[in-house]
Structure 1
Amino acid sequence: MTAARGYLRYTAGKLGGAAVSLLAVLVTSFFLFRIIPGDPVKALTHGTPTTAGQLASLRRQFGLDEPLWRQFTEYCAKALTGDLGISYQFRAPVGELIAEKAPATLLLTGVAVLVYSAVGLWLGARSAWRHGGLGDRINTGVALTLWSVPSFWLGLLLIITFSVGIGPVPGLFPTGGMESGDATGLGYAIDVAHHMVLPVLTLVAVGYAQTLLVMRSSLLDEMGGDYLTTARAKGLRDAVVRRRHAVPNALLPTVTMIFINLGHVAAGSILVETVFSWPGVGGLFYQALSVPDLPLVQGLFMVFAGAMILMNLLADLVYPLLDPRVRR
């Protein structure tokens, strides 16, 4: 009963912190994008002859003629009820636009997160267990290199090499998009998978490196523990000691990494989606930011930040289950 009460108290504190974070995001999402240079109305009417009266009418229609404090209170009142407003450029509810683009992003980044989390955990554990060896040096060197590479730059290199073709390497994959538009059924699934190869590879190459390095560092910290010596003294095989004793105790920092990566699933990768013309929320955010389309930018920022806060909250709630000392 005492343990359950302690966990409930711990959970209540984390929920309160998440609520405060969401309120901070609500305020930040409004004021942050108000300092972006540019006039949304002029950007939307660029290249179209427009009178001063028409510009004033559009500002009134978008509510931009209201005092800033009134815009803020109206924005907060709507956001707290789930109304993210109407996009300036698409003239559609922001929530519907995000819901329309979300499946493509969830597919792309979801697959990438699953792959690079599994690969990073496995290689990180093996590198730490055999630290100092040739395999560890190669894995660590490759991981550090890929972690330092900007994702958009790596994506462009992959497009040049495997889409356009270079030297003896022919163009094997599409340069962008999610589908060719002329397939159905199983053919459609294969077509989408074909388009996913390069953007997923880009995300995996950068993401697995970070997971590997965090897992390696965490496991190295555990390898001097007395409990591992005791496990070996009992006659357990080295692989069993690593899998059942060392790795579970090294997972706390990596759990945070995995949950943060899951939070990124909602946001996608803005640069990677833009480079590969992937029709997800990352590309939508780039379009919105270029105007700037304030309701759409604010709505996407709320979704991105909300997903990260939720995943951090879940990580905090899982910690005590992995290590009861955390709730103390």
Structure 2
Amino acid sequence: MAGGYPRYLAGKLGGAAASLLAVLVTSFFLFRIVPGDPVKAMTHGMPTSAEQLATLRRQFGLDLPLWQQFTDYCGRALTGDLGASYQFRAPVGELIAERLPATLLLTGTAVVLYSALGLWLGTRAAWRHGGPADKLHTGVALTLWSVPSFWLGLLLIIVFSVGMGPIPGLFPTGGMESGGESGLGYVLDVGHHLVLPVLTLVAVGYAQTLLVMRSSLLDEMGGDYLTTARAKGLRDDDVRRRHAVPNALLPTVTMVFINLGHVVAGSILVETVFSWPGLGGLFYQALSVPDLPLVQGLFVVFAGAMIVMNLLADLLYPVLDPRVGR
């Protein structure tokens, strides 16, 4: 239908803009219900008078009425100014930019690996559903999907970092590098530190991808168009690759793009367990104070990444299925 896609595009862009506005509002009010006084937390253990506490509150704008704090925050955020961190005394944007590469390396590597593995195994399991391989893959995936990522990370540290029984400690317990390395040695050192946190994220993430892809493909396998393709003499592999899988991709594409949004957000629990110097660990540090500008800024960046990835998935749908957007 003429004009269908422009209307579809305008609707999705409008929805993304409304979601970003809602994120701004939520990020301001949500973290103000977190117990704790930022000023008292920053001065904990130091002799501080009531006048000094009042001066710090005035310096950080915490003495202003809530509505004024909110309007000031929205005005700065809309211009890209996320404020200054209470505990680090540095612009929030700079802190995020400093930690972002470590998070992109960790979660980006994990998302690529578990998306490819989950799509491949999910397709194989569905196409031969009911067989031994399908039962094995589904059982393992259900088990791993139900395991908390922080618990799995701690278990891997105990077994492969500390060592248990005949298994020696093979990998570092945390951090991104040992220090003192350069060139190829630095790359290998970072790769050595990457193994366990990436394995933790892949183990949980591939399970979700596999189960969604398997379920979506099973829904397509009874379609008449597959029977017609076989009647035309197409090989089973061609029927799966050229007809069944493309039609089963829409739910999986949504999940893959959501996972790409997690590349920016990182994994707070996994980064904390492995002391990975990324945005997830920074968020945990900020929340423990609470460092309101830093927490709010990270929340906006995390949610914004998810909204953008969802928008890109929506824009890709009409390419995969021309019926979408008509």
State the TM bucket, normalised to the shorter chain: over 0.9
Structure 2 match to 1:6: 4
Inter-partner Cα distance in structure 2 for 1:53 and 1:104: 40
Inter-partner Cα distance in structure 2 for 1:151 and 1:186: 31
> Which of 87, 90, 93 is 2:91 aligned to?
93
C-alpha RMSD of matched pairs (Å): 0.6
> Which of 104, 107, 115 is 2:105 aligned to?
107
Q: Map of 1:262-277 to 2, 5 A cutoff?
A: 262-277=260-275
What is the Cα deviation at residue 99 of structure 1? 0.2
What is the Cα deviation at residue 95 of structure 1? 0.2
Structure 2 match to 1:306: 304
Q: Map of 1:308-327 to 2, 5 A cutoff?
A: 308-327=306-325
Structure 2 match to 1:151: 149
Task: Report the 3-state secondary structure (helix = DSSP H, G, I; strand = E; otherwise coil) of the residue aligned with 1:325.
Answer: coil
What is the Cα deviation at residue 226 of structure 1? 0.6
The code of the aligned residue for 1:71 comes to Q
What is the Cα deviation at residue 6 of structure 1? 1.7
Structure 1 match to 2:24: 26
Matched, 1:190 2:172: no
Q: Map of 1:224-235 to 2, 5 A cutoff?
A: 224-235=222-233
What is the Cα deviation at residue 279 of structure 1? 0.2
- Unmatched segments (≥5 aa) in structure 2: none
Task: Report the 3-state secondary structure (helix = DSSP H, G, I; strand = E; otherwise coil) of the residue aligned with 1:158.
Answer: helix
What is the Cα deviation at residue 147 of structure 1? 0.2
- Corresponding residue pairs, total: 326
Q: Give the structure-2-normalised TM-score.
A: 0.99
What is the Cα deviation at residue 8 of structure 1? 1.5
Matched, 1:73 2:71: yes
Q: Give the structure-1-normalised TM-score.
A: 0.99
What is the Cα deviation at residue 72 of structure 1? 0.3
Inter-partner Cα distance in structure 1 for 2:42 and 2:312: 40
Structure 2 match to 1:174: 172
Inter-partner Cα distance in structure 1 for 2:6 and 2:102: 37
The code of the aligned residue for 1:33 comes to F
Summarize deviations over 1:140-170 as a string: whole Å, max 9, x none. 0000000000000000000000000000000
Task: Report the 3-state secondary structure (helix = DSSP H, G, I; strand = E; otherwise coil) of the residue aligned with 1:279.
Answer: coil
Task: Report the 3-state secondary structure (helix = DSSP H, G, I; strand = E; otherwise coil) of the residue aligned with 1:132.
Answer: coil
> Which of 111, 136, 139 is 2:137 aligned to?
139
What is the Cα deviation at residue 253 of structure 1? 0.2
Task: Report the 3-state secondary structure (helix = DSSP H, G, I; strand = E; otherwise coil) of the residue aligned with 2:36.
Answer: coil
What is the Cα deviation at residue 9 of structure 1? 1.4
Task: Report the 3-state secondary structure (helix = DSSP H, G, I; strand = E; otherwise coil) of the residue aligned with 1:326.
Answer: coil
Q: Map of 1:278-289 to 2, 5 A cutoff?
A: 278-289=276-287
Structure 1 residue runs of 4+, over 4 Å off?
A: none
Inter-partner Cα distance in structure 1 for 2:26 and 2:51: 32
The code of the aligned residue for 1:258 comes to V
Task: Report the 3-state secondary structure (helix = DSSP H, G, I; strand = E; otherwise coil) of the residue aligned with 1:324.
Answer: coil
Matched, 1:120 2:124: no
Summarize deviations over 1:307-326 as a string: whole Å, max 9, x none. 00000000000011111111
Summarize deviations over 1:265-315 as a string: whole Å, max 9, x none. 000000000000000000000000000000000000000000000000000
Structure 1 match to 2:289: 291
What is the Cα deviation at residue 228 of structure 1? 0.5
Inter-partner Cα distance in structure 2 for 1:84 and 1:182: 34
Moved more, 235-244 or 289-298: 235-244
What is the Cα deviation at residue 130 of structure 1? 0.3
Task: Report the 3-state secondary structure (helix = DSSP H, G, I; strand = E; otherwise coil) of the residue aligned with 1:240.
Answer: helix
> Which of 233, 239, 242 is 1:241 aligned to?
239
Inter-partner Cα distance in structure 1 for 2:177 and 2:233: 55
Summarize deviations over 1:231-284 as a string: whole Å, max 9, x none. 111111111110111000000000000000000000000000000000000000
Structure 2 match to 1:215: 213
Inter-partner Cα distance in structure 2 for 1:251 and 1:214: 10
Inter-partner Cα distance in structure 2 for 1:226 and 1:14: 32
Inter-partner Cα distance in structure 1 for 2:7 and 2:189: 50
> Which of 226, 233, 254 is 2:252 aligned to?
254
The code of the aligned residue for 1:104 comes to A
What is the Cα deviation at residue 200 of structure 1? 0.1
Inter-partner Cα distance in structure 2 for 1:238 and 1:159: 44
Task: Report the 3-state secondary structure (helix = DSSP H, G, I; strand = E; otherwise coil) of the residue aligned with 2:254.
Answer: helix
The code of the aligned residue for 2:86 comes to Y
